[in-house]
Amino acid sequence: MKIVGRLVDSAENVELEIKNGQIYSIVPQPATKPSRTWISRPLIDIQINGFGGYDLNAENTTAHDVSQMVESVHETGTGYLYPTIITGASQQMAQAISAIHQASQDQSIGRAILGIHIEGPYISSIDGPRGAHPKRHVRTPNWDEFRRWQDIAHGKIKICTLAPEVEGALPFIEKLVASDVIVGIGHTNATTEQIQNAISVGAELSTHLGNAAHALIRRHPNYIWDQLAEDSLFASLIVDGHHLPANVVKSMIRAKGLRKTILISDAVHLAGMKPGRYRFTNHEVELTTDKCVKLYGTNYLAGSALTLIKGIENTVRFCQIELPQAVSLATQIPAELLDLKDKMGKIKVGQAANLLTFEWDELSQLISEPKLHLIN
């Protein structure tokens, strides 16, 4: 098989030859007319709750639901993902984790699921920071509960988002870090000192920074500025134009820099579905034509319907950065956070031919025809 296009790594026009699942040769092509086809590593989404009608946080989530969700999201260019389980009853969360593990036993699904992201339930119970997480299930950290989930996951829980100000958070973070789980700060009402304390014991990530926050907060200091200013923290952003306005995205990426910013979808199961009215979390919601999930009849956000590749496209437009830079925020940078450089290294001869191709229209700044080439 041969693939012709521009490498995201170098913007060079090349012809890739694939043999036996590996990149056999990379032959430079004439650069007189740059190709519209780009060649990248598959995208990594470290926070996704569902897609295409399949909800990972529904009651009685099954392995079939997980598999169908993974296959649906593959069609958008996301090759690797961290299915995300949010705050819920302990047994319901355990069932969802079990379903993810069962689905991972299939080779193609297991190849795509690099880990599980637990978002909550150890978060702020305050309106605003709590976001859409059900208040009745918010609780303080419980190591025995988490270990039970990790046993069910067979060690596959790799990210845990929590609020560092809740009782028992700091020793819990220490235990997570000691067991090689990435700790994200999110759904928080923490003070400057509490954020610094969390970082001092190993927190590395700000989860969907700027969201799950009060509608009105003090000018400064506040928990958004504190995390933006902390050079050691990676920041994940939902770049759909709804969760964060374009000027906020631009400002945040300027503050964090391209080496510390990660694009996520944080998609709910309505992503990939037709616009219309749906039932979600026992509420009537509307999926708008511009891919926003709102409580029906209001402007209140009820979830993300973003695809990660659309987030890349938006980032180019919002921040006036180059396409390869935006692609790195959904490939190379999350790989650095999660120590996955083997999957996201430079495209070169002898490597497994796990690739993504897509068309990029420079004038309209639109991406089309994403296609995954996954070998192992």
Q: What is the structure's pLDDT at 296?
A: 87
Do the Cβ atoms of 292 and 298 come closer than 8 Å? no
Walk across the sheet containing 261-264 and list its strands: 43-48, 78-86, 116-119, 157-162, 182-185, 205-206, 234-238, 261-264
199 falls in which pLDDT band (50, 70, 90)?
Answer: very high
Q: What is the structure's pLDDT at 177?
A: 98
Instruction: Read off the pLDDT of each residue in 77-81 and give the average, rounded to a whole number.
Output: 97
Residue 189 has pLDDT above 70, yes or no: yes
265 falls in which pLDDT band (50, 70, 90)?
Answer: very high
Strand runs labelled E in 191-300: 205-206, 234-238, 261-264, 276-280, 283-287, 292-295
- What is the tens place of the pLDDT at every residue in 209-232? 999 999 999 999 999 999 999 999
Q: What is the structure's pLDDT at 376?
A: 66
- What is the tens place of the pLDDT at every residue in 88-147? 999 999 999 999 999 999 999 999 999 999 999 999 999 999 988 999 999 999 999 999
Mean pLDDT of the chain: 95
Count other Cβ atoms within 10 Å, centred on residue 321.
Answer: 16
Spans of all domains in the chain: 1-41+345-376, 42-343
298 falls in which pLDDT band (50, 70, 90)?
Answer: confident
Structure tokens at 259: 């080496």
Residue 34 has pLDDT above 90, yes or no: no
Residues for the chain: how many in total?
A: 376
Looking at 3.20.20.140, 3.10.180.10, 2.40.320.10, 3.40.50.980, the CATH number of the domain 42-343 comes to 3.20.20.140
Specify the fold of 1-41+345-376. Urease, subunit C; domain 1 (2.30.40)
Do the Cβ atoms of 198 and 172 come closer than 8 Å? no
d(CA 186, CA 250): 20
Q: What is the structure's pLDDT at 77?
A: 97
Q: In CATH terms, are 1-41+345-376 and 42-343 the same topology?
A: no
Do the Cβ atoms of 218 and 195 come closer than 8 Å? no
